[in-house]
Amino acid sequence: MKRILISFQLVKCIRDVRVRSRAGFETERRGSHPYIDFRIFHSNSEIEVSVSARNVRRLLSFQRYLRSSRFFRGITVPNSSNILDDDYNGQAKCMLEKVGNWNFDIFLFDRLTNGNSLVSLTFHLFNLHGLIEHFQLDTMKLRRFLVMVQEDYHSQNPYHNAVHAADVTQAMHCYLKEPKLSKSLTPWDVLLSLIAAATHDLDHPGVNQPFLIKTNHYLATLYKNTSVLENHHWRSAVGLLRESGLFAHMSLENRQLMESQIGDLILATDISQQNEYLSMFRSHLDRGDLCLENANHRHFILQMALKCADICNPCRTWELSKQWSEKVTEEFFHQGDIEKKYHLGVSPLCDRQTETIANIQIGFMTYLVEPLFGEWARFSNTRLSQTMLGHLGLNKASWKGVQREQSGSGDDVDPAFEEMDSDILPQEPRLS
């Protein structure tokens, strides 16, 4: 009995302690959600109920996925709605044939795939780009990895969830198809781009970096208040890559290089570093010295592409863009409600009493989206770039119309954006 107890403790210890990476950091523990530690606000009984309920929800969510997706070894579970599921799967496959279309409706696709848009779309893109064959990937390991990624996005987040990740991945695919990139990128570049896009907000808690800092969250301490969420997304992605064993057949050197370069891409999505990246991009374009035969230059362009994909919502059609605007604002306001409730000081753009969707979106487009996509159009002056800028202009005009109706003036700009200068940019609460 004593030997069994020791064995159990040893197994538990191995499970709880993550092996330190040879690359010099510890991967994030799978399932270590950076939720705020509400123990400073709630009673112990409430904590137990909350944690228990969360664990059950995660388990049930995975079981629902197993029953609906039929991704695992072709297993089908008897279900009275099988005919309907087949019909919906057929429609989803038809949509995937147009996955490179900028008007791709990710919300519809998510419904057609029963909430599995990230898995379905990313697996399809791996196959479409020939990555499975080129890198000799085990399809079961790939699906397992993508399922774990989808699981570790929080479906209760209005905006930072798996649907957003799928939308960013689809946008990244559109950029990879652009003539300047498609003729220069290697399979390695495409592989890194799709993985980074799919995992760029992995395990996002639905609150921003300042919130984590002022609540003394362990992640803020771990990453010294610098790119806290982006570092966590990256480390979480590395943890899932290793857990899935997807690239176990590669050399250690290549795996370490992959992890490092995926990190470079994800860290570039930190919106507080927007000016730094934009300045470098503009300087390259002014000098005309970008050479996509140079691996470092290609990697930099992929960083800019992921930044564009991450905040491209205002460049979609009004029908899609408006939905995203409402969702991200809902997430901002939810954070503000928590901050008010616990007297934490409401973060910029998060007060539902003083902010409006129109004001937030106009400021966001003016100070962040327009400068970035203007430079991207200089780099890749294609039909897609002009389409995105066209939608951006129309959407901004639409929000100004809403703003005029609400305030009687079309000149209001959200002070949170207006006060920004070249050294001060908004932190994570924007469309990160």
Q: Is 167 assigned a ligand-binding role in the annotation?
A: no
Q: Specify the DSSP class assigned to residue 153.
A: S
| Type of residue numbered 414 | D
What tokens does 192 get? 């890194």
Contacts of 36 (CB under 8 A, 6+ apart): 205, 207, 211, 212, 215, 217, 338
> How many residues appear in the chain?
432
Sign of CA dihedral 393, 398, 403, 409: positive
Among the listed residues 221, 170, 218, 159, the one whose alpha carbon sits nearest the alpha carbon of residue 197: 170
Number of H helices, E strands in the chain: 21, 0
CB of 426 within 8 A of CB of 271? Answer: yes
Residue 201 annotated as binding?
yes
Is 160 considered catalytic here?
A: yes
* Residue-by-residue DSSP string for 78-108: --TTHHHHHHHHHHHHHHHTTTT-TT--HHH
Instruction: Identify the DSSP state of 21.
Output: P
Q: Is 161 annotated as a binding residue?
A: yes
346 has binding-site annotation:
no
| 243: its two tokens | 């857990």
Q: Is 160 annotated as a binding residue?
A: yes
Dist CA 379 CA 330 (whole Å): 34
Is residue 208 a known part of a binding site? no
What span, in angstroms and rounded, lies between the C-alpha atoms of 282 and 277?
A: 9
Distance CA 152, CA 145 (A): 11
CB neighbour burial string for 64-95, b if at least 16 within 10 angstroms, e if fewer: ebeebbebeeeeeeeeeeeeebeebbeebeeb
Distance CA 213, CA 210 (A): 5
- Residue that has been written with the tokens 């905006």 in this structure: 159
- Report d(CA 149, CA 285) in Å as an integer: 35
Q: How far apart are CA 275 and CA 421, in angstroms?
A: 10
Residue 391 known to bind ligand: no
Instruction: Show the tokens assigned to 247.
Output: 């690239």
User: Measured between alpha carbons, how far is 307 from 345 in angstroms, rounded to an integer?
Assistant: 29
Q: What is the DSSP letter of 365?
A: I
Instruction: Confirm or deny that 164 is annotated as ligand binding.
Output: yes
Q: 33, 42, 154, 160: which is the annotated catalytic residue?
A: 160
CA angle 404, 430, 322 (to 5 degrees): 45
Write out the binding residues.
160-164, 200-201, 310, 361
Catalytic site residues? 160
Write out the binding residues for Zn(2+).
164, 200-201, 310
Write out the binding residues for AMP.
160-164, 201, 310, 361
